[in-house]
Amino acid sequence: MPALTYTYGTTNYVPDATWAIVELWAAGGTGGSASTSSGNKGGGGGGGEYRKGLATGLTLGGTYVVNVASAKSADTTTGYNGDDSLFNTTTVVAKGGTAGTTNAGAGTGGGAGGTGGTGSLANWAGGRGGHVNGTTNSGPGGGAAGSSEAGYQGSDSSTSGGAVGAGNPGAGPGASGRTNAGTGNTGGNYGCGGGGAWRTSASRAGGTSGPGYGRIYWSPPTYLLCLGCG
């Protein structure tokens, strides 16, 4: 069965069959930022969701938009939820992870993993971002979902980011938490959450999330498979 792969951005899909199986991964949420006061920290961003759906009734030679989520960046005062990945706007939708909380208290702040999209063949949630670990570290990012299991949670008691679920096309993991002042660390491909920031004398942005990904499979009609046959 032929397949096309998609990295972040907007691409037109022109089918040569009336149906397609669509797999999408959404972007993770950014890490929470750290502002206002010395010692403030951000929670880890949640990993992006995986969705698999069947698109039917496609028009041969028509145009269908595939919008794969780009990585998301925080600023020094707030984090941002990961963008969704979309096929034909609403036919298949994978939901982005939630940003880690800015200036989170100890034992809080991890952003929720992406969930609640559209596509009935399979769905797996992203892993929650890790909470701020007292005065020891900012929150690590959650792992993105895979095609056969959910993403793993970022640690609440160490700097370890969550692993990606089995079948994720990237290596991950969610971003590590910080043990000293600085901008949050970046989440791995595809769809992992960013790590929380740590402030001392200057405000710091939460870590950038991992972008989404997409695949489309289909089976061409028999007459196309036999073009050039004797």
Amino acid at 160: S
Q: Are 46 and 164 in contact (CB under 8 A)?
A: no
- H, E, C per residue of 151-209: CCCCCCCCCCCCCCCCCCCCCCCCCCCCCCCECCCCCCCCCCCCCCCECCCCCECCCCC
- The DSSP code sequence of 135-150 is TTBPPPPPPPP-SSSP
**What is the per-residue pLDDT for 3?**
86
Residues 87-133: tens digit of each pLDDT = 999 999 999 999 999 999 999 999 999 999 999 999 999 999 999 99
pLDDT single digits (tens) 14-72: 998 999 999 999 999 999 999 999 999 999 999 999 999 999 999 999 999 999 999 99
Going through 73-114 in order, the beta strands assigned E by DSSP cover 85-87, 92-94
Indicate whether 225 pLDDT > 80.
no
Domain count, the chain: 1
pTM given for the model: 0.94
Interatomic CA distance for residues 39 and 197, integer angstroms:
10
Cβ pair 150, 142 in contact under 8 A: no
Look up the domain containing 22 and give its range: 1-230
